[in-house]
């Protein structure tokens, strides 16, 4: 649901900082009908980081209570640590959010885990941006004024307000995108008629016992060949016994996962009802926040619409540049600002075009002294002569 806002490939692995700084409820909010992955090393670090006198309400203690007691993973985590043939266990089911938890015996992850800083980004996106009182005051004053160019100080104030309005609009648009994604995801959950806890993944195939070779002793060559086949058979049997041991261990874990799944199904009616109620409350809250945010957008957009500067220049770079012209005395009014801005943009485009041609020539020259390279050289020369 929220991967769009985070520059991470995998958003299921969680870093230790998440468990230290965030309570389970705030994190699982983003994993309804989904799953999280926890490294065994991270779990051990969680145990080490909990002080003896730590409050039961601390984030770490709440997480350990959930993992060890509520989803019942404590004893299995000891088995995962001690058994060399187990690399992962799960799923464990947290019914109120329909969230699955998997534990992995990994020293390092292929993808960078999510940190508490990543979730801080999401928490901020979920909050409604505060009303900018300075912009609100300017909005009220502009409602009663005509759109006519005023003195130098008024122009600077207007450009400053436009800049702040653009920053606020960008922030609120991100907030609205987050809310819309949340609304869509929660509505999909409510409309999903066959919503159930996900079954455990299928167990690996049972190893096939190697066939005993047919030995022959009719000749010396046959005897040597039979000995070779017998040695291969012994090796295959040894490998089979090892794979069978791994299979039986994993099969037992699969049976335990199936037992947890059955319990999750037994409790699903009550948990499903709670989940649906949460989704309805969150939909109503998100809709109210979205309405508030849209009201702020209308106010800030009004400031831009009533601005002294033309709408073609309603972007942060253009307004910042024009404001700098006025502050440094390079321009005395908006018309001078826009003329300077267009002239400098024109020369930037010429310079960029020249650099592209020079890069093309360099590339062609490194490839070969082809006619195309000579043609490109003539082109750059003609461009320089025309300046």
Q: How far apart are CA 356 and CA 365, in angstroms?
A: 14
Check residue 220 and give its pLDDT: 45
**In this predicted structure, what is the pLDDT of residue 33?**
95
Residues 252, 267, 259: CA angle, nearest 5 degrees: 10
| Rounded CA separation 152/327 (Å) | 9
pLDDT of residue 206: 86
Q: Are 162 and 314 in contact (CB under 8 A)?
A: yes
C-alpha span between 333 and 351 (Å, rounded): 27
CA distance 219 to 216: 8
Token representation of residue 82: 């001690």
Q: What is the CA radius of gyration of the chain?
A: 33
- Tokens 């009303």, residue located: 131
* Under 8 Å between Cβ of 273 and 95: no
pLDDT tens track for 31-77: 999 999 999 999 999 999 887 666 778 999 999 999 999 999 999 99
pLDDT of residue 147: 52
Below-70 pLDDT ranges, the chain: 1-3, 52-54, 107-110, 145-150, 213-228, 230, 365-387
277-316 tens-digit pLDDT = 999 999 999 999 999 999 999 999 999 999 988 899 999 9
**Which residue has tokens 């065994």?**
40
DSSP string covering 48-115: HHS-TT--TTSHHHHHHIIIIIIS--HHHHHHHHH-TT--EEEEEEEGGGTEEEEEE--SS-SSPPB-
Dist CA 53 CA 145 (whole Å): 63
Collect all residues with Cβ–Cβ distance below 8 Å to 381 and sequence separation of at least 6: none
Residue 346's pLDDT is: 81
Q: List the structure tokens of 380.
A: 């750059």
Give the pLDDT score at 378.
64
């Amino acid at each position: 649901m929220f991967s769009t806002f985070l520059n991470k490939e995998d958003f299921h692995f969680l870093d230790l900082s998440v468990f230290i700084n965030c309570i389970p409820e705030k994190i699982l909010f983003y994993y309804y009908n989904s799953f999280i992955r926890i490294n065994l090393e991270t779990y051990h670090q969680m145990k080490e980081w909990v002080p003896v006198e730590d409050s039961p309400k601390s984030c770490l203690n709440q997480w350990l209570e959930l993992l060890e007691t509520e989803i019942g993973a404590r004893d299995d985590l000891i088995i995962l640590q001690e058994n060399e043939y187990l690399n992962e266990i799960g799923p464990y089911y947290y019914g109120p959010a329909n969230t699955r938890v998997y534990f992995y015996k990994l020293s390092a992850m292929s993808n960078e885990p999510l940190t508490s800083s990543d979730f801080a980004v999401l928490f901020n996106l979920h909050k409604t941006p505060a009303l900018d009182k300075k912009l609100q005051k300017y909005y009220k004053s502009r409602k009663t004024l005509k759109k006519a160019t005023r003195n130098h100080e008024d122009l600077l104030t207007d450009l400053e307000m436009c800049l702040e309005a653009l920053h606020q609009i960008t922030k609120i648009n991100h907030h609205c995108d987050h809310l819309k994604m949340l609304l869509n995801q929660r509505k999909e959950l409510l409309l999903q008629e066959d919503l159930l806890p996900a079954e455990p993944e299928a167990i690996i195939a049972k190893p096939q016992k190697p066939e005993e070779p047919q030995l022959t002793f009719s000749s010396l060559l046959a005897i040597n060949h039979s000995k070779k086949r017998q040695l291969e058979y012994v090796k295959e049997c040894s490998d089979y016994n090892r794979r069978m041991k791994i299979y039986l261990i994993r099969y037992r874990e699969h049976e335990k996962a199936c037992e947890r799944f059955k319990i999750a199904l037994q409790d699903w009616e009550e948990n499903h009802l709670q989940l649906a109620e949460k989704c309805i409350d969150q939909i109503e809250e998100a809709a109210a926040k979205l309405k508030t945010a849209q009201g702020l957008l209308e106010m800030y957009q009004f400031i831009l619409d009533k601005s002294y500067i033309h709408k073609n220049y309603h972007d942060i770079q253009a307004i910042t540049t024009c404001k700098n012209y006025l502050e440094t005395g390079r321009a005395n009014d908006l018309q001078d600002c826009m003329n300077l801005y267009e002239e400098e943009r024109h020369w930037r485009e010429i310079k960029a075009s020249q650099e592209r041609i020079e890069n093309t020539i360099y590339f062609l020259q490194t490839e070969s002294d082809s006619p195309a390279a000579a043609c490109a050289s003539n082109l750059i020369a003609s461009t320089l002569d025309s300046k």
